[in-house]
Structure 1
Amino acid sequence: MSNEMQKPVIGFSCGDLNGIGLELILKTLADHRLLDFCTPVVFANNKALNFYRKGLADINFNYSSSKDLSRLNPKQVNIYNSWEEEVAITPGQLNETGGKYALLSLQDAANALKAGQIHGLVTAPIHKKNIQSEAFRHSGHTPYLKELFGVNDVVMFMLADNIRVGLVTEHVTLSDVASHITKENILSKLRIMHSSLQKDFGIDKPKIAVLALNPHAGDEGLIGKEEETIIKPAVKEARHHMLAFGPYSADAFFARGQHEKFDAVLAMYHDQGLIPFKSLAIGEGVNYTAGLGANAVRTSPDHGTAFDIAGKGKADHSSFLAATFACIDILAKRNGYAEMRQNPMRKMSARLLANAVDERLAEETEK
């Protein structure tokens, strides 16, 4: 099989049109070396891309109005026009337009992933409120994709070179978290994480740490009983099938660097896992939706729309670049493309690569 045939097709949804999504995509694809490792398809609109491309990136696009994903050019950045009409783009503004076209892009990209027309999907940030509509009644990408793919459960799995964190609950109000902490939910998340660590990361016998819900792991029932009645029994049952440990008190666990002894950590709720993750990932964090199925890989950066800097060319694309790398790497691991995993770009950190692109773009702008 030729190298061109082996390259995965990676789709990019544009996110909120008024956020930093298209800038992140353009900066990421400005490094033409990526074309050696994937065939990119941007689900947006050529006019929207040109709006953000001015003074930012010189990219040779392959544009087709036919919406035919079977005729992609593997040596160019391909544009899939998710809409044809002229759209008023207002960087930094939260409005209906940003959400409407973010959804059109996401729908096309996600359906292409489900149909096997693309191999992986990297999603740019959406604004969770202004994307709400009859067609999108979800708290984010993860539950939307779970419903679209018709799977029983997925895991919001945060990835970085030095830490991996999965969540039992995602975008749930703190007052409702405890009601979602059940033995069944914990076991489901552990099974998905265990399978992902084996198939997507090549770890034969992964070790997973499970965090407690309450301070000091409940102090043997003094500060909450969930650890004794739910979490410990779940971990005990999981140990029949995998190396699961805990529950650990969340504060001491990260403060003492215990995460370094495990291949992944299962946190009970969003901030319990995301605060230490974002502190330790240092700008290169990736959100991976584990559990969508054997033929679907979706990643995204670990940040939001950043309206305050949208349209100013200031967005740091290192997390988006890391998400693109992660998507390619997971596909390569699943499909056994050993030669593709020897990616010389991957040996550098996403931040260093992103800085190099920023410097080149700045030099080109000054000319």
Structure 2
Amino acid sequence: MKHPSHIKVGISIGDMNGVGIELILKTFEDARVLEFCTPIVFASNKTISFQKKHFNSPTSFNGIDKISQAIEGKLNVLNCWKETPNTEFGKPTVESGKFALLSFKAAVEALKSEEIDVLITAPINKQNIQTDEFKFPGHTDYLAKELQGESLMFMVSDSLRIGLLTDHVPVKDVSRHITEKRITQKVNSIHDSLIRDFRIGRPKIAMLGINPHSGDNGVIGEEDDKVMKPTIEKLFSQGKMVFGPYSADSFFATEAYTKFDAVVAAYHDQGLIPFKTLSFGQGVNFTAGLNRVRTSPDHGTAYDIAGKGIADHSSFQKALYEAIAIYRNRNEYEQLSQKPLKKLSHKI
């Protein structure tokens, strides 16, 4: 396993008209953060310099033209373009979408080729990043295509972990996406991630019902009785500690979530509303189930405060620490799995 300071952290800048670069600069103002990793920002010297000057940031950086030139103990900026893009804080433009995509794709390629160990993605705008070569509702779906494994949107904080059965799916289409196959695949991904990435020996997982009151025995929809319950019972019979479905409207208010290692929500807002209410600013979006580690802050581009110098970098910093911790946990788990302790032989 690599020494912590040798872990190369790739960072995509997101939409430069949002708060992404501000978060990066603020995170690395504290030089002690550099003791944990070697950060590499996929952008350009000019792009970072412009915002460094705008925010009067004391953060220094080292410009490089290839990743092998990265220096430990420094914030490194990999020059991915020669142009000088026009920054318009608070406005999603075609240009800011173009460079957000350039940064993200370059970082993903480096992740795939193992030139970086983990990836932190600053927030993008899901509309202006769309092109003929990028037709995805977000980072997660693109990563699922480019990397190995089955991706899972896993929101994590110190007190709560929420996985989603469906993520960027219209509410009207949610129920038809929730099948025995999908439930099984997502629960297995969460179960494996809790063991590999968070080092939890025997995870306990709670499932939230699809309908209000989990369908009230078929009075408010049949999906919970016909799909959710039988699948949960099947998973439990296979040795996984999976329970539910629980009525989502009271599950968090009664703090029932504290009794579980993870909660599985049926759809995006069912999981994200309680997560952001309980953990906003301290939460992390982790793409579990893939062969590489990627995290991001739990918020968007924040155009309303972009350029004002008031963005809170707590979630971005948490995403950085979480990625490093997951990477180390995963490495340790894989090493232990590949090299089981030899039985001691005793002479009689």
**TM-score interval, normalised by the smaller of the two chains:** over 0.9
In structure 2, the partner of 1:9 is 8
Mapped contact 1:62–1:77 kept (Cα < 8 A): yes
Q: CA deviation at 1:3?
A: 4.3
In structure 1, the partner of 2:306 is 310
Q: What is the identity, as a one-letter code, of the residue corresponding to 1:179?
A: R
Mapped contact 1:183–1:234 kept (Cα < 8 A): yes
In structure 2, the partner of 1:160 is 157
Query: Is 1:234 matched up with 2:237?
Result: no
**1:40-60 deviations in Å (ceiling 9; x for gaps):** 000011111111112442223
How is 1:330-341 mapped onto 2 (pairs within 5 angstroms)? 330-336=326-332
Mapped contact 2:155–2:162 kept (Cα < 8 A): yes
**1:257-287 deviations in Å (ceiling 9; x for gaps):** 1000000000000000000001111421100
Query: Is 1:283 matched up with 2:246?
Result: no
Q: CA deviation at 1:135?
A: 1.4
Which runs of 4 or more aligned residues in structure 1 lie more than 3 Å from their structure 2 counterparts after TM superposition?
1-4
SS in structure 2 at match of 1:104: helix
Mapped contact 2:10–2:120 kept (Cα < 8 A): yes
In structure 1, the partner of 2:270 is 272
In structure 2, the partner of 1:353 is none
In structure 2, the partner of 1:255 is 253
Runs (5+) with no aligned partner, structure 2: 334-348
SS in structure 1 at match of 2:243: strand
In structure 2, the partner of 1:57 is 57
In structure 2, the partner of 1:33 is 32
Q: Distance in 2 between matches of 1:56 and 1:238?
A: 54
SS in structure 2 at match of 1:43: strand
Q: CA deviation at 1:150?
A: 4.5
Cα RMSD, aligned residues only: 1.4
Q: Distance in 1 between matches of 2:289 and 2:2?
A: 30
Q: Distance in 1 between matches of 2:168 and 2:180?
A: 19
In structure 1, the partner of 2:44 is 45
Stretch deviating more after TM superposition (233-242 or 314-323):
233-242
Query: Is 1:328 matched up with 2:314?
Result: no
**1:217-241 deviations in Å (ceiling 9; x for gaps):** 1011111001111101111121113
How is 1:76-87 mapped onto 2 (pairs within 5 angstroms)? 76-87=74-85
- For 2:293, which of 293, 297, 300 is the aligned residue? 297
Mapped contact 2:280–2:298 kept (Cα < 8 A): no
Q: Distance in 2 between matches of 1:69 and 1:84?
A: 17
In structure 2, the partner of 1:216 is 213
**1:290-340 deviations in Å (ceiling 9; x for gaps):** 0111xx100000110011111111111111111111001111212239xxx
Q: State the TM-score, normalizing by the size of structure 2.
A: 0.92
- For 1:103, which of 90, 95, 101 is the aligned residue? 101
Q: CA deviation at 1:34?
A: 1.0
Q: Distance in 2 between matches of 1:82 and 1:160?
A: 32
In structure 2, the partner of 1:347 is none
Mapped contact 1:56–1:313 kept (Cα < 8 A): no
Mapped contact 1:27–1:56 kept (Cα < 8 A): no
Quick one: percent identity of the two aligned structures? 50
In structure 2, the partner of 1:355 is none
Q: What is the identity, as a one-letter code, of the residue corresponding to 1:218?
A: G
Q: Distance in 1 between matches of 2:301 and 2:34?
A: 26
Q: Distance in 2 between matches of 1:2 and 1:278?
A: 33
Q: Distance in 2 between matches of 1:312 and 1:115?
A: 37
Q: What is the identity, as a one-letter code, of the residue corresponding to 1:237?
A: K
Mapped contact 2:12–2:120 kept (Cα < 8 A): yes
Q: Distance in 2 between matches of 1:12 and 1:162?
A: 26
Stretch deviating more after TM superposition (55-64 or 185-194):
55-64
Q: Distance in 1 between matches of 2:264 and 2:213?
A: 16
Mapped contact 2:160–2:275 kept (Cα < 8 A): yes
Q: What is the identity, as a one-letter code, of the residue corresponding to 1:336?
A: E
Q: State the TM-score, normalizing by the size of structure 1.
A: 0.88
**1:5-54 deviations in Å (ceiling 9; x for gaps):** x5310011000011110001111111111111100000011111111112
Mapped contact 1:17–1:97 kept (Cα < 8 A): no
In structure 2, the partner of 1:360 is none
